Amino acid sequence: MTRWHENRKSNRAPGTESAAASPLTAAGLVGGRESIATLPRFLGIGAMKAGTTFLHHLCGQHPHLCMPVGRKEIHFFDQHYNRGVSWYASQFKNCGTRLPGEITPSYLYDPRAADRVARTLPEVRLIVCVRNPIDRAYSQFKQWVRDAAYGGSFSDFLRDHPNAVERGMYASQVTRYRAAFEADRIHFILFDDLVRDPLAEFGRLCDFLTVPRNVHLDISARYRHESALPVHSSLFALSKRLRSTCYRTDVTWPIRAARCVGIARLLSRRHQARRFPPLEAHVRTQLVDVYMDDTVDLSRMCGQDLVRRWGYESDKTQQGVGLPITAAE
């Protein structure tokens, strides 16, 4: 599989870039308390469809953590960088003494984000949620069927949207961040572990962020397998497009109003007789080949044998192909 992003190397040690070159200087946020109080100390950078919404929900409940109010994804380092650091800092103006942070899963995939994060937040801690990339791609396909009324099969979707495959090449994307940050500033969360035991996984995250782990959490919003389509597919898709437009333009009052009057809940009703198209077995087999090398690399980065955990060994064994399994370093 040809890598589509070059890994951008940096000869600078993290945090050693001159203040004159940093956007923090222009905003007047270098060297003072304001930079600590108003800019994130931790970032969830990805991946899409890997549990980041649930993680945002958990972080928002911790009394020592501060997440943006009213929205999950700020998209500063990919979509809104031209608005400047002062605008970004304004998203966290009510954090007080709490540790500010945000989660935007596209930061992992966007090739510009790692360098921008390193220049703007050289001391930040990074959180990377990863999921079996085949299941991640299928979940993205389901989102398109549900939110955009996409009518093709899963294989059609991969052909029409090649980024759905690319987003699962986690190791090549994490490499960009490892070029700018020490490995101990990057924390991995496996989607399956977060779903199975969210309290334990969140406790490990609290240790990484150096905040107390003994807090009460509501975990009722954990991931649920979604198999049925909305009753009103076209209206649901339209509402999602309008919601995206509202967030992109910072006009969020229609979203709050829709929630208050129950429109969002009404449009989310499911028609149990209408199911998502299946993940075809032959497509899964092909994707194992696509993701194998990257998954071995990721295993070394996070210290777990993801080839075994994600079942790639058994998928290959069923084809009669023996695989040498590389132990995680």
Element (H, E) at 73: none
Into how many domains does the chain fold?
1
Give domain status of residue 213, yes or no: yes
Give domain status of residue 88, yes or no: yes
Give the pair of three-digit tokens for residue 182: 């020490």
- Rounded Cα gap, residues 135 and 162, in angstroms: 15
DSSP code at position 21:
G
- Rounded Cα gap, residues 142 and 53, in angstroms: 16
- Segment 15-22 shows an average pLDDT of 40
Whose CA is closest to 103, among 35, 159, 54?
54
**Tens of pLDDT, residues 67-94:** 998 788 999 999 999 999 999 999 999 9
Give domain status of residue 46, yes or no: yes
**Tens of pLDDT, residues 281-290:** 999 999 999 9
Q: Half-sphere exposure (CA, 13 Å, Cβ side) for 134?
A: 24
Give domain status of residue 298, yes or no: no
CATH code, domain carrying 106: 3.40.50.300
Element (H, E) at 149: none
- Rounded Cα gap, residues 270 and 143, in angstroms: 14
The alpha carbon of residue 36 and the mean position of all alpha carbons in its chain are separated, in whole angstroms, by 24
- What residues have CB less than 8 Å from 8, skipping those under 6 apart? 111, 114, 115, 176, 179
Which region among 124-128, 259-263, 271-275 has the lowest average model confidence (pLDDT)? 271-275
Give the pair of three-digit tokens for residue 249: 């333009």
Give domain status of residue 127, yes or no: yes
Strand positions, DSSP E, the chain: 42-46, 65-66, 99-103, 125-130, 186-190, 228-230, 270-275
Give domain status of residue 262, yes or no: no
Domain boundaries, position 214: 25-151+162-225
Give domain status of residue 9, yes or no: no
Give domain status of residue 293, yes or no: no
Give the pair of three-digit tokens for residue 237: 């898709």
Q: Confidence band (pLDDT; 50, 70, 90) for 274?
A: low
**Is residue 39 helix, strand or coil?**
coil
Enter the pTM of the model: 0.76
